[in-house]
Amino acid sequence: MIEIVRQAHVDAPVDDVWAKVSDAVRAPEWFAFAERVEVRAGDGLGQLRTQHGRWGGKPAEVDQEVIAFEPGRLLAWRHVEERLNGKPAPKFAASTEFRIELAQEDGGTSVTLRSLQEPAGRVKGWLMKAFGAKDVAKAMETSLARLSGEELGQ
């Protein structure tokens, strides 16, 4: 399992941070991986959505299913399907999960972003660690910086 974790303090109440991170449509405001997110079905646990963005300079789409939804505390999804440039993406990970964990902290909110990927094989795992992990970590750091620098009450 490849786990990448980044954490930051946001000077805003948990409820304000939750309002932003739990609303899929607002993801492009802060989530570096997302240019647009479409909710396809449901709300909360079990929600199905498609995230549009870029990976390696190419258009990317990720179909997601929300697998954990604890208001004010935890949002997690798993990747169901991934497409790159309109075609099925190369299968480097057997499974991918992304978690957003919140906790009240010193007049604000501690935000932890966690990416968990199970490689689809030994060589693919090595490639993911050698190349993809740095890009994922950088995007997570950018996401946290956007959350930290914005007025969340808007």
Taking only the tens place, the pLDDT of each residue in 139-148 is: 999 999 999 8
Res 151 pLDDT > 50: no
* Confidence grade of residue 150 (pLDDT, cut at 50, 70, 90): low
133: exposed, middle or buried (Cβ count in 10 Å: 0-12, 13-18, 19+): middle
For residues 114 and 136, is the Cβ–Cβ distance under 8 A?
A: no
CA distance 139 to 154: 23
Res 130 pLDDT > 70: no
Average pLDDT, the chain: 89
CA distance 129 to 125: 6
**Residue 30, Cα to own-chain centre: how many angstroms?**
10
CA distance 77 to 118: 14
Residue 29: both structure tokens together: 């405001």
What's the half-sphere exposure (Cβ side, CA atoms, 13 Å) at 103?
A: 8
DSSP for 70-102, written as a single string:
ETTTEEEEEEEEEEETTEEPP--EEEEEEEEEE
Res 38 pLDDT > 50: yes
